[in-house]
Amino acid sequence: MVHTATIPPVVALVALVASLLAGCGENRRDVFLRGLEIEGAAEKGPCRLHYAENAQAAALTGDNVAECLRQTDLAIAEYEQAGAMGLDTEPDFIATYDRAKQRRDRLASMLKNVRAIETSQMVDTR
């Protein structure tokens, strides 16, 4: 059993501060970086255009665009959380967040167009 009288006040204070800091969780930069990581992974995965052999254009499906849009929305959610934590005044954050929102809008429009083409191709084959 430890008696508080045997622990120097400075050691107790340091232990208290260390335990409080350990429980603080993520900061706004961590959240922002997580959003960047999601976007980076999407660029290498579902947002990357895949070219078929001997084809002059990339094969593009609505499912690929939808997954890219979903990943972009996940990144935007992280950016919004970082902004709410106080990062919303930094120029790098603002530029990244605006770029992601513009990308989301383009992807939503692209998804609508690709789905319309896919639907018309399905109707034509019947």
Query: How would you classify residue 59: left for phi > 0, otherwise alpha for psi between -120 and 50, otherwise beta?
Result: beta
Query: What amino acid is encoded at 30 in this protein?
Result: D
Neighbouring CB atoms inside 10 A of 57's CB total 8
Range from 14-18, 31-35, 60-64, 121-125 carrying the lowest mean pLDDT: 14-18
Please answer whether residues 100 and 72 qualify as being in contact, where contact means their C-beta atoms are separated by less than 8 angstroms.
yes
> Apex CA 112: angle with CA 107 and CA 114, to 5°?
90
Summarize pLDDT for 22-79 with one digit per residue, the tens. 446 789 999 999 999 999 999 998 888 766 677 666 778 899 999 999 999 999 999 9
Rounded to two decimals, the pTM is 0.73
For the chain, which residues make up each domain, given as ranges? 26-124
